[in-house]
Structure 1
Amino acid sequence: MSYVVLARKYRPRSFEEMVGQDHVVRALTHALEQGRLHHAYLFTGTRGIGKTTVSRILAKSLNCVGPDGQGGVTAHPCGVCSACREIDADRYIDYVELDAASNRSIDEIRELIERAAYKPTVGRFKVFMIDEAHQLTKDAFNALLKTLEEPPEYLKFVLATTDPEKMLPTVLSRCLQFNLRPMAPQTVAEHLTRVLEAEQVPVEPGALRLLSRAARGSMRDALSLTDQAIAYGGGQLQEASVRAMLGTVDRRHAERLVQALAARDGRAVLAEVDGLRDRGLSAAGTLEELARLLQQMAVEQAVPGALDETDPDTEAGRRLAPALAPDETQLLYSMAVHGRAELPLAPDEYAGLAMVLLRFLAFPSAEGGAARSAAPPSRSSAPLVAPAAAASVAVPVVSPRGDATAARAPAAASSHTVAPAVPAPPVAPEAVRPAPAPVAAAAPVPAPRVPVTPAAPPQASAPVRAASARPQPPVAADEPPPWMDEAPFEGEVVARPAARSPRSADPEPEPAPHDVPDDPQDAAPWPDEAATAPAPAMPARRALPEVARTPLGDRWAEAVAGMQATGSLVALVRELALQSELVAIAPAADGQGEQWQLRVEREPLRAPPLVDKLQKALQAWSGKTIRLEAVAGVAQDSPALRETERLARRQREAEEVIQSDPLVQSLLAQFSTARIVPGSIKPV
């Protein structure tokens, strides 16, 4: 007798033998026991999880007659009657399985509908099972709709698909839908244990874990891999042989990678990648094992003690959980998961693996970032100026007028205490307002003074008041918004700020008569800003594109313009003519006509069909025999470059006209926030 593979030999024969699909088994069992039978069932789910198996068990339940031949519809088929045995052997005449992957046209569905008109031959019900139903054509679905909605009482439809999204909504609405779920690795491992015990094959627990994970929820894949592993291991299942067969990466490699990444040791990371390359281990498998380890670490960080104690792989996740911060664990997990999709795009998979891991090193360490952010600046941490070096230190102080003054050199022997240098906060030019001449007014609150390094003789060593101590006027309603302070980008036309005199400035609290300025210059009248402040320079203009014009370029431009006027240049042929440069004209080799050589940069435009079409258009326009030849090279004088130069020149002329207009200049001078929006000037 020939060998039967494990996936067929241990296919469940009843609902009791089904594993991992309790929700489907329970619903169908109750429906069969209560006689609430639907006329159409739809089973969805990934490959190898039991869709066809459930369909066959349902067909046996509907047609089972029991060992004595007197049974009826049951949720527990006997498995010994002729109907049960023939359905298991796939030769029951009233149970039809149609593979829609190869029988998807309307002709097969019409034949199936014709067979539905006849009553069952030997059974109680006819059961039509359509596998991979989503591959049926739209016409086939439409032909099936009426029969699927109102089939004869003796007919049951069972549809199975791995992609229900491709099913027509009208079909889905006519079926009772059951979604079969992928099985957990523990469920797969338990079933494999029973199968291997029945087969009397020795197995190591580590080998079972590898097989159950590699199956990815598919019991058929798990049994097929087990068959392969038994053959690979010579009749036994050992963890080392199964790992070698599957190409699975050992957990220890992932542990070393996590330790190196946590230590920010790029050299160790690259050494581990090179070791994986030398051993021939899969880069995708490495990222998969790394993601599995990081998932366990994240679980341990979020819920300590929640990992499965019976799984020996969880010990590494529990031990390495403190190595990374929770946010770093999540970041590295995301990189490992998404990095698998990038491996085919890399020069080789190990280079892609190295880039995925080095990407994590590009982010700063969580501990370093936390340490930097957790240490606020304090006075004690500011650098102190030594008395011996105080003579070479100059402290800039912002005056109320916005200019910076330097402290004078201190005396050689000074008894003043050296205080840390506190730089004044930067003040925006538009925020500084000139103060009017001092007049008698109510005495304001004295401004605090900032001690600085002694930098003047005793008679001139009075502390200088900081600019921030003077009360600032409120921002006027016509002041520019904050984003207007950004530097203009290249080519933007910026308005010149209007000059303001002290008399036109916003009112400011006036000092009291006894509030004498420390610096005599503060009491002097301020000159008009319009006379002292230089006008901001306008941004440099962009250089206009210049074309190195040639006589051959003039001739080709004239020819292209003539062909365009006749309408003979369309689509890619027109693009070829515009992007070409005429570089040579010579007599043809056969003595008939001329040979024109065009230089074209883009390879698709040099295609022979396009060159032939352009040649015919040129001959029709000129009335001469001209043969075209397209060579590779960058065009220096093409009609397209000439047109670009012409448009740029027109744009420059239009901008100059607007900028030199007296009305525009007066508006820019009158309103400080006015500017010409870049790109708004268009030549007419």
Structure 2
Amino acid sequence: MSYLVLARKYRPRNFSEMVGQEHVVQALTNALTQQRLHHAYLFTGTRGVGKTTVSRILAKSLNCQGADGQGGITAQPCGVCPACTAIDSGRFPDYTELDAASNRGVDEVQGLLEQAVYKPVQGRFKVFMIDEVHMLTNQAFNAMLKTLEEPPEYLKFVLATTDPQKVPVTVLSRCLQFNLRPMAPETVLEHLTHVLAQESVPAEPQALRLLARAARGSMRDALSLTDQAIAFGCGQLQEAGVRQMLGAVDRSYIFRLIEALALGDGASVVDTAEALRTHGLSAAATLEDMCAVLQRMAVLQAVPQRASASDADPEAQETARLAQLLPADETQLLYSICLHGRGELGLAPDEYAALTMALLRPLAFKPAGFVPGTLEKKTLAPAPVQPASPVAPPPPRAPESLPEPRPEPAPAPVSAPPPPAPTIALPVRSLEEVAQPLPVEPPQAQEVPPAPPAAAPAVVALPVHEAPAPSERLQPLPAAAKALAADSFEPSAEGAFWHATVQQLIASEAITALVSQLALQSQLVQRAGDAWTLRVEAQSLNQAVARERLRAALQAAGHASVLDIEVGPVTDTPARRNAAAASARQRAAQAVVEQDPLVQALVRDYDAKILPGSVKPL
């Protein structure tokens, strides 16, 4: 006797044997019980989820005669009457299956519809089942529309497809549509355990988990892989054999990679990637399994109480340990890198080289002070806090349309702290009330003594100004308000020189990308011969590679050969000077438009307004 494969041997014979499609089973069972039968059904879903199986069970339910030959339409076909046995064996004359993949023309559909005029020979209903219906041509769809809409009372249509988007809406509107969902790995694992128990085949739980994951939601694929694994393992299922058959990556490599990335150990990452190459394990499977583990880690980090739900999985404990080892933000970053890295494997000449690059990419985002092999990260030291002194409340931020305030001399120090002063709110004015602003000149470098690198800018008390009357022109804000503007800066002794030097390096393309940003965002604190000291606010800009390239560019230009960069607050950088100059040009252009007689006439006579952002300097 020939061997019958597991996928056919354990095909469900009734609705109670269906696995993982409870929503479809419930709807069809209730419809059969209440005799509310539609004339056309459309079953959609990926391969191996039970579309053809549901069609055959539905045909048996419609034509079942019962064990005593007196039965009627039922949701529980007996499976022993002539109609049920004939449908199971594929020789029932009133049940016709048409494969639309090989019979997709209008002639084949027309030949099928010609049988619709004849009543059933043995059964209660004629059932036409068209598999892969989306493969039919447009002419074939048009030929069946009329019969599909108003078939004889004894005719039922059952359509099945894996791609419902290709089915015309005129067909979809004539059918009841049921979407059969892909099955969860846990559902597949439970069914495989039941099948192998019936077959008396010994199997390791982890081997079944590998088969359930490899099936990707298809029960037929799971049973087919199980058949192959039984043959590969000579009658038994062991984890090592199933993993070798599937070419799956051992999860120990995955855990090793994630732990090395969490610790910043690049050498271990490269060694593990080379081990994957040596054993011939798939690079795409490695990134796929890493995504699966990282997804579970992210769930555990967001919902820690879910850890108890996966205690049956032997990998759950290791996953929970890594979830505590890797920060949540780095877990999300690593998941995104692995997910997008799969698409880059085909672009590289060597997929293992692409795998190594994808795995090393998270290490490029580690802080500069990170020590490999530890979880401690270098953090910026807080800025020194000046002794508490009473200061006046800072004035409100100046509107962008106001002219840039000119710096005022700092007031003389007072011996006693002034009493608290109320905050003065400036009135909001319309555009025409702020006409004819003061001319603005780009700020020039001032000869001021350099401030100590580590000292924070001193905070001084500012006098409180009286609020101007509505009829008066708005006065420039005090100098302290200048620090609140995004494009303001405090000129330093070395500011103009460093600005000119950086602009020259950028113009000659001696520095680009991250190096140019480092130069633009830094402040020249001190020059001592060939040794220069810069200060930058963002630690992410203070990278070793960018620092060395900036030093080489300065040395090539005849400047510093020794460069020291510290992290701290800055007040005068080339970027701030550029922003201040751009803001000055913008205000000058705004002033030209506001002072134009025609514009003033439109504002005065027609209550016109200048749209913010519509004025650009040439």
Shorter-chain TM band: 0.5 to 0.7
The one-letter code matched in structure 2 to 1:334 is S
Amino acid of the structure 1 residue aligned with 2:332:
Q
Tell me the residue number matched to 2:335. Answer: 333
Identify the residue that residue 84 of structure 2 maps to in structure 1.
84
- Paired with 1:481 and 1:221, the residues of 2 have a C-alpha distance of 78
Are the structure 2 counterparts of residues 265 and 101 from structure 1 closer, same or farther at C-alpha, using a change threshold of 3 Å?
Answer: same
Give the match for residue 319 of structure 2.
317
Secondary structure of 1:104's partner?
coil
Match runs of 1:436-455 below 5 Å: 446-448=411-413
Q: Which of 334, 354, 357 is matched with 2:356 structurally?
A: 354
- Within a 5 Å distance, the mapping from 1:75-114 to structure 2 comes to 75-114=75-114
CA separation of 1:254 and 1:673: change in aligned 2, threshold 3 A: farther
* 8 Å contact from structure 2 (residues 106, 143) kept in 1: yes
Instruction: Give, in whole Å, the separation in 2 of the partners of 1:481 and 1:37.
Output: 84
- Asked if the contact 1:126–1:156 (Cα under 8 Å) also holds between the matched residues in 2, the reply is yes
* Mapped partners of 1:190, 1:53: distance in 2: 19
Match of 1:70 in 2: 70
SS of 1:25 mapped into structure 2: helix
Match for residue 154 of structure 2?
A: 154
Label 1:448 to 1:39 Cα distance change in 2 as closer, same or farther (>3 A).
farther
Please state if 1:376 is matched with 2:388.
no
Contact 1:44 1:163 in 2 (8 A): yes
Residue number in structure 2 paired with 1:58: 58
CA–CA distance in 1 between the matches of 2:227 and 2:4? 10
Q: Which has the larger radius of gyration?
A: 1
Opposite residue 34 of structure 2, the aligned amino acid is Q
User: Partners in 2 of 1:314 and 1:222 — Cα distance?
Assistant: 23
Deviations 1:9-61 (A, max 9, x none): 11011111111111111111111111111100011111000000000000011
Count of residue correspondences: 431
Q: How does 1:430-469 map to 2 (within 5 A)?
A: 431=404, 433=406, 446-448=411-413
- Per-residue CA shift, 1:589-619, capped at 9, x if unaligned? xxxxxxxxxxxxxxxxxxxxxxxxxxxxxxx
Q: How many angstroms apart in 1 are the aligned matches of 2:69 and 2:271? A: 71
The aligned residue for residue 263 of structure 1 is 263
Give runs of aligned pairs for residues 166-177 of structure 1, distance below 5 A: 166-177=166-177
Q: Name the TM-score, length of structure 2 as normaliser.
A: 0.63
Cα drift, residue 364 of structure 1:
3.0
| Superposed displacement of residue 367, structure 1 | 10
Q: How does 1:628-667 map to 2 (within 5 A)?
A: none
Name 1:400's counterpart in structure 2: none
- 1:13 matched residue in structure 2: 13
Alpha-carbon spacing, 1:190–1:433, altered in 2? closer, same or farther (3 Å): closer
**Alignment correspondent of 2:31:** 31
Give the corresponding residue for 1:2: 2
Q: Distance in 2 between matches of 1:367 and 1:433?
A: 41
* Deviation for aligned residue 1:266: 1.7
Specify whether residues 274 and 67 from structure 1 end up closer, same or farther in structure 2 by C-alpha distance, changes over 3 A only.
same
Aligned to 2:225: 225
Greater displacement, 336-345 / 160-169: 336-345
Name the % identity.
Answer: 63
Task: Return the alpha-carbon distance in structure 2 between the equivalents of residues 375 and 103 of structure 1.
Answer: 75
| Aligned-partner Cα distance in 2 for 1:88–1:300 | 46
| Distance in 2 (alpha carbons) for counterparts of 1:55 and 1:237 | 33
8 Å CA contact 1:192, 1:208 repeated in 2: yes
Partner SS, residue 27 of structure 2:
helix
Residue aligned with 1:124, SS: coil
What SS does the corresponding residue of 2:305 show, helix, strand or coil? coil
Q: So what's the TM-score if we normalise by structure 1?
A: 0.57
**1:174 Cα deviation after fit:** 0.8
Gaps of 5+ in 2: 388-402, 415-427, 444-472, 479-502, 509-587, 596-613
Per the alignment, residue 299 of structure 1 pairs with 299
Cα 1:507–1:207 change in 2 (3 A) is closer
In 2: Cα distance, 1:185 partner to 1:509 partner: 67
Instruction: Measure, in 1, the Cα distance between the counterparts of 2:9 and 2:407.
Output: 96
Q: CA deviation at 1:353?
A: 1.0
Distance 2:68 2:477 in 1: 112
Give the Cα–Cα distance (whole angstroms) in 1 for the partners of residues 369 and 63 of structure 2. Answer: 69
Label 1:274 to 1:34 Cα distance change in 2 as closer, same or farther (>3 A). Answer: same
Partner deviation per Cα, 1:459-499 (whole Å, 9 max, x = no partner) = xxxxxxxxxxxxxxx997667999x99xxxxxxxxxxxxxx
Larger RCO, structure (CA 8 Å, separation 6 or more): 2
SS in 2 for 1:362: helix
Secondary structure at the residue paired with 2:304? Answer: coil
8 A contact 2:249–2:286 mirrored in 1? yes
Q: Does residue 246 of structure 2 align to residue 236 of structure 1?
A: no
Note the aligned Cα RMSD (angstroms): 4.0
Q: Deviations over 1:230-270 (max 9, x none)?
A: 11111110000000000111111111111111112222211
Is residue 405–residue 476 contact of structure 2 (8 Å, CA) maintained in 1? no
1:154 and 1:289 mapped to 2: Cα distance? 51
Residues 293, 316 of structure 1: 8 Å contact kept? no
| Alignment match, 1:285 | 285
Tell me the CA shift for residue 306 of structure 1. Answer: 0.6
Distance 2:177 2:27 in 1: 11
Deviation for aligned residue 1:446: 3.0
